[in-house]
Structure 1
Amino acid sequence: MTTTLGRTRRRTLAWVAAITAVLAVALAGILWLVPSRYLPWDTTPFPDVDRTALSAEQVAVVDLLEAEHDAQRPGTFYSEGVDQAWCANFVSWIMREAGMPLSNPNSGHWRIPGVYTLQEYYESVGRFEAAGTGYRPVVGDVVLYDNTSWVGQHTNVVVAVDGDTATTVGGNEMGRIRVHTVDWATDSAVVGFGRLSAA
């Protein structure tokens, strides 16, 4: 009887260990594939941005993004108190505070709460550049992502460019303001860019 109980216990422990190992490998794989902007413990610091070659408008945007990244205010701050997904509200707020307010194509208000409407705005003013056209984003441009990203539509702002990689800062990235790196040439979720200024 004792031997049978001992064998049953060893088998149970072996199964628990095997299942735990499989779950650990699966979790590690998921975390490896997930962009850092969606990891709750990501604490990537704001990048050291060389502002000497930037325009006054770009410097204003970068300075605001850095200040807000440090402040980590709640999303309702950027959405006039409305509790909603706030990545586009954050972009709208940054542009308004930088002296380049956007205009919601539906209401004319400075705040554009939706990513698709944000894209409509940039299209309506001739400042939208679709992904895959050879356009290279610059500091202050807005990146627009579609529903194929694993969290749905999203948007953030470019603060640095290195080759085909952009460093961005965005709101509502796991409920925070975060730094992210995107390879726009290979990230299929990138729809395009809203240019900071007219071409």
Structure 2
Amino acid sequence: MNYTRTASMCLRIAMRRVGGTSHIFSTSVSEQEMIKTLVDDLRDKDCSTVGTTLELHKPIAYGELDHLDSPQADAAHLEHVRTEVDSLFSRLPLPDDPMKTALEPSGREVAEQEGWDVLKEMVRERYHRSIALRAAEKARIEGVMKRYQQATDEPMEPDIPKGATSTEEAERIRRRIEHMKLEIAQLEKKLETADRFNN
């Protein structure tokens, strides 16, 4: 019978590692010490059933066939197993504050929460940056529109240089207006791109 494996399985079910240590329920009792104690108890109990001989008997092998004898034998074997398990678990040390230990997050849960916090902070920073860029772009477009409105509303006093005709001045004004319209269209396109990026 593999006593070390049996004791280790019981401890894995019952113990909870906290902070990456191998101490049971954060007490001073380590996993190795508890396994050694349980192995010694199992070996002593198993040897006591066969007297002083060095030959170890195999209770599991016999127990697997008990149910062929009678339901009473099967029930007795099940009760024996439960008693042995309860005895093993009763030897496990308990923490000073069981509720706090049970509710305390494990190392893996803490690492996952830290990762989510970093991700949320990155998303929040990106969102605020996009809002600032959108506000700056909107302010710039409003400034251009204001200048364009002032240029179209105010009466233009033609500054015709010497030797220039009124037709040349009108053509110059039209080119200026077309240039301003093109600039406004480009700014509106940038604003639409920023809106799609934010959404």
Q: Which TM-score tier does this pair reach, normalised by the shorter chain?
A: under 0.3
* Structure with the bigger percentage of helix: 2
Structure with more contact order per residue of length (Cα contacts < 8 Å, sep ≥ 6): 1
TM-score, L = length of structure 1: 0.23
* Larger Rg computed on CA atoms: 2
More strand by share: 1
